[in-house]
Amino acid sequence: MAQLAFFWVSFARPFARFCGHMPAGSDPIPRAHAPLAQGFVWTALAAALSAGFGAAALLALLLGFELPLADWWLPLVQVHGFAQAFGWLGLFIMGVSLYFVPRFSGTPLRWPALQQAIWVLTGAAMLGRLTGQLWLSGEPGNGAGAGVLGLAGLAGGLAVLCYLLLLASALRRAPRHQAITQVKPFLLTALCGWLLAGALGTGAALRAALRGEALLEAPWHRLSLDLFAALVLLPVAFAFSLRTFPLYLRLAPARWPVRPFALFYLAACALDFLPPLLWPGATGLTVQGLGKALKGGALLVFVWNLDLLLRRKLPWTAEQELPSQPRRFHPPTRPGMPDYGEFGHFERLLQAAYLCLALAGLLELWNGIAALRGTDPPWVPDALRHLYLAGFGTLLLLGMAPRMIPGFVGRRRVAHPWLVDLSGGLGLAAALSRVAPVALAPFLPEAYPALATWSSYLFGVSGGLGWLAVACLALNLGATLAAPRAGEKAA
Ligand code: HEM
């Protein structure tokens, strides 16, 4: 009976309402905002510590120290990419957006219970991909392994559909004048990105399952992950940075044409992704070069306008008269910041993340210009992909999670601010040691072979460093949640 009720609340009722089979009024919109579904946070951390950074640690160690690679190596690479993008970054994005967007738009989530279904299904997809792909790598054609992989593909696709249903309903009902309007084009881009990346990922997993193969078709699998980075991660990060950084970092409010910029960014991405599919060959590559150059330029324009790195503009507080601080109860706030240091130096992680994004923009622009001139792009896709995902995405998350999650769950601070700094240092070291050896490999002078060897060892430890960074975040969030809520006395 309980399962039936869960199914009704989670799937059947929203679906019936969405398709118009349930009369309006039979499913009233909740009046209060839903609390954060903590399952998103814990499943994201579990995905990162196992198939994400856990697998990365193993993969990099084998590659960097030139140890033998087994049959499961390539399938594990694919599982790692999927778990990092859709699990680690994706689940955080889902959880935070389902918390924030209804609050920005002033309309509570229509079916809050659906949130549980989303993180459970995504967690099942991670587990299924890991088990199914590794099983099939040992026994190609094994029916049970193929079944697990197929079910994992379906679970991932269904999770994305449920998320889209929930978020689209919140966005559709958002009044025009609300704080969401300026960043809405980014959120709509992200909805399209989820749909495309999710559909491609599901399709590729189902196809591999039907063939009984451990490996998904590489071009479609990679396209799904690259679409996730360009159309989900970046637009969502842009939207949340514009809305929250003035509050968290006292940046100036966005007074530049954000909506036209969002359309320009989308057009640049279309030029980057579509031409090789529409016109394979030289023409497609040249038009793609134009897309890459425009996208790289757009990223640099965004970083410049956000003003996090250079701080050229006056903070929004310069225009306000703030009440004097209650010195009896608190120490003074940090210079230029609204907090007392109770979230660690999270701003350094955000700056490091945007530095990675600026670098990615520069390299993308460089590659684009090279393609337009008909020469080979100097920067390899793997280095750029990790600059976006391990550099920008992961550092942003390692900085934003300790700043936001305590407030979402009624705590005023993180349990250990020093762990935020430690995870930041480890995360930055992981990103640099993951990206630099691959990006710089073609440029290392052959006269010094020791440089190549040490660079390879650096790569070999990068996954372990990333794992430690996430472990610090998990420990810190666990201890923060174990602390009493603001206003409650410890037992
Ligand atoms: C710093 C730690 C990391 C290490 C050591 C690492 C290691 C690797 C390795 C060895 C590969 C295979 C590259 C190849 O095909 O030659 C790979 C691919 C990939 N990684 Fe990472 N990675 C790390 C972090 C991340 C993060 C944080 C993300 C995303 C949030 C990510 C997403 C991906 C993706 C999407 C692929 C492509 C998968 C595929 O081609 O099937 N990685 N990574």
pLDDT of 115 strictly over 60: yes
Work out the average pLDDT over 23-44. Answer: 76
Q: Rounded to an integer, what distance in angstroms lies between the CA atom of residue 483 and that of residue 411?
A: 8
Q: Which residue has the least CA distance to atom 2 on ligand 1?
A: 463
Phi first, then psi: what are they for 343, rounded to 5°? -115, 15
What is the rounded end-to-end Cα distance, in angstroms, of the chain? 37
Per-residue pLDDT band for 333 (boundaries 50, 70, 90) equals confident
Q: Could you give the residue range(s) of every CATH 1.20.210.10 domain in the chain?
A: 253-312+341-481
- Looking at the whole model, is its pTM more than 0.75? yes
11 confidence band (pLDDT: 50, 70, 90): very low
Residue 321's pLDDT band (cuts 50, 70, 90) = low
- pLDDT for 73-82, tens place per residue? 999 999 999 9
Segment 454-477, tens digit of pLDDT: 999 999 999 999 999 999 999 999
If you average pLDDT over every residue of the chain, what do you get?
90
CATH of 253-312+341-481, one of 3.40.50.2000, 1.20.210.10, 3.40.190.10, 3.40.630.30: 1.20.210.10
**Cβ(225) – ligand 1 distance below 6 Å:** yes
Angle subtended by helix axes 258-278 and 234-249, to nearest 10: 160
Residue of the CA atom closest to atom 6 of ligand 1: 56
Q: What sign for the dihedral angle of Cα 460, 463, 469, 472? A: negative
**pLDDT number for residue 171:** 81
pLDDT at position 16: 42
405 lines ligand 1 (CB under 6 A): no
Closest residue by Cα to atom 32, ligand 1, is 81
Pocket test for ligand 1, best of 62, 84, 227 (most atoms within 8 A of CB): 84
| Cα-to-centroid distance, 56 and ligand 1 (Å) | 7
**pLDDT the model gives residue 326:** 58
pLDDT for 322 equals 63
What is the band of 175 on the pLDDT scale with cuts at 50, 70, 90?
Answer: low
- Least confident interval from 23-32, 114-123, 417-426: 23-32
User: What is the DSSP secondary-structure string of 292-321?
Assistant: HHHHHHHHHHHHHHHTTTT--SPPGGGGS-
Q: Which atom of ligand 1 approaches the CA of 431 most closely?
A: 1
Give the side-chain half-sphere CA count within 13 A for 283: 5
**pLDDT of res. 180:** 81
163 exposed, middle or buried (CB, 10 Å; 0-12, 13-18, 19+)?
A: buried
Report the distance separating Cα 228 and Cα 249, nearest Å: 27
pLDDT band at 329 (very low <50, low <70, confident <90, very high): low
Quick check: 23 pLDDT over 90?
no
pLDDT at 24 over 90: no
| Residue 216 pLDDT exceeds 50 | yes
What percent of the chain lies above the pLDDT cut of 70?
89
Of 182-186, 287-291, 481-485, the one with minimum mean pLDDT is: 481-485
Which residue, by CA, sits nearest to atom 16 of ligand 1? 382
Can you give the pLDDT at residue 469? 98
Residue with tokens 């970092």: 249
| Whole-number pLDDT of residue 26 | 46
What distance in angstroms lies between residue 184's CA and the mean position of ligand 1's atoms? 30
Q: Which of 244-258, 293-307, 319-333 shows the highest mean pLDDT?
A: 293-307
More confident residue, 440 or 1: 440
Say which residue, 209 or 275, is predicted with more confidence: 209
CA–CA dist 480, 414 (Å, integer)? 5
